[in-house]
Amino acid sequence: MEYIYGALLLHAAGKEIDEDKLKKVLVEAGIGPDEARLKSLVTSLKDVNIEEVMKNAAAASVASAPASAPEKSAKKPEAKKEEEKPEANEEDAMAGLSSLFG
CATH number at residue 1: 1.10.10.1410
For the segment 14-69, what is each residue's pLDDT rounded down to a tens digit? 999 999 999 999 999 999 999 999 999 999 999 889 888 888 887 776 666 665 55
Are 99 and 45 spatial neighbours (Cβ–Cβ below 8 Å)? no
Domain interval for residue 36: 1-45
Identify the pLDDT of residue 38. 93
Tell me if 7 is assigned to some domain.
yes
What's the mean pLDDT in 63-80? 59
pLDDT (0 to 100) of residue 3: 92
Nearest to 60 by CA among 69, 52, 68: 52
The model's pTM: 0.56
Residue 9: CB atoms within 10 A of its CB come to: 16
Per-residue pLDDT, 24: 95
Burial per residue of 58-82, b for 16 or more beta-carbon CB atoms within 10 angstroms, e otherwise:
eeeeeeeeeeeeeeeeeeeeeeeee
